[in-house]
Amino acid sequence: MLMSSGVSDAFLAVSASASSRSPTPPALATGRRLFSALLPPSSSLSSSNRHFGPRRRLGRRSSTMAARAAAQRLENVDELIDSVETFLFDCDGVIWKGDKLIDGVPGTLDMLRSKGKRLVFVTNNSTKSRKQYGKKFETLGLSVTEEEIFASSFAAAAYLKSIDFPKDKKVYVIGEDGILKELELAGYQYLGGPVGAVVVGFDRYFNYYKVQYGTLCVRENPGCLFIATNRDAVTHLTDAQEWAGGGSMVGAICGSTQREPLVVGKPSTFMMDYLANKFGILKSQICMVGDRLDTDILFGQNGGCKTLLVLSGVTSLQMLQSPSNSIQPDFYTNKISDLVTLKAAAV
């Protein structure tokens, strides 16, 4: 489909009113076509039929999957700790809420490190790069290296590298600084065209222009990838309440393009596979600790790991035990500091 100069001019006029706080999108030259490649899309298949390699799952449970046993309240801490060599921690709702550290976190991490456990922090929040998250950990008084942080912003760049995404193609980003910085570090350009991928993450400056431009990129560029960092319904910007998450931005592009994205964040197995390969660890030797059933716990289950749900974030005990909930972790507890307090009580 072609964009006539009239349509282009009208589109430019509308876009001029976009928020000045939004990252500047690629310029659209008046009277010129938006894209250089104007053949019909190379595939009419929904991108939900694409995989991160040979038949990799995208993180959605099959309706035919056998029901799991009800989660057990964590009691034997030593048995869990001794059974794994790596703990993966979600951040929002597990380590912190907003900018407030959850009680007991420093002592818990210190205890696990003293036992020789590898700690990795896995977050779907794409607003920061690994380096920026490192600064947040430092601000909260936690000593965490960049190599121990795996954010969905990094996952988006890592996925593009894993498929040998051409460096001469650009990436249009609907998201914040974290994605842009990780793309830069990976050697990808995110301004201009032709566009070969649209990456959508959490964006506090989301607007109609971004929806429209992202839609045009996906629909009019043959083979253009539609990548989502995550589909979280809500996120924690503060410790007081939940806010609309990156899934709301992704949903807008899904609606306008009638396409499903490739999700690189939890519960996709891409992040788990990358971590297992990077550190050379067996997935059976990993325990995933998180506060969300449909991302954190499902992420661990899809990867074949042990799973521990903490009730310090999104999921309540009532939600976990609801008859309508089909996602059951191996164990659940109130917060990660229970790993210390329950251990001490058992002595």
Length of the chain: 347
Nearest to 104 by CA among 332, 314, 346, 342: 342
Which residues have a Cβ under 8 Å from the Cβ of 301 and sit 6 or more positions away?
A: 68, 307, 327
First-to-last alpha carbon distance for the chain, in angstroms, is: 70
Count of alpha carbons within 13 angstroms of residue 101, beta-carbon side: 15
Strands, E, within 74-205: which ranges? 86-89, 96-97, 100-101, 118-123, 149-151, 170-174, 195-200
Q: Structure tokens of 251? A: 């949903």
Crossing angle between the packed helical segments 338-346 and 105-114, to the nearest 10 degrees: 60
Query: Rounded distance, CA 302 to CA 270, Å?
Result: 10
CA atoms of 150 and 161, how far apart (whole Å): 15
Residues 6 or more apart whose Cβ sits within 8 Å of residue 185? 129, 157
- The residue written with tokens 């210190």 in the block is 110
Cα–Cα distance list, 129 to 44, 124, 177, 181 (Å) = 34, 11, 7, 6
The Cα 318–Cα 315 span in angstroms is: 8
102 DSSP assignment:
P
Rg (CA), the chain: 21
Give the whole-angstrom CA distance, residue 67 versus residue 311: 22
Catalytic residues: 85
Do the Cβ atoms of 121 and 149 come closer than 8 Å? yes
Which pair of tokens denotes residue 85?
A: 């060599």
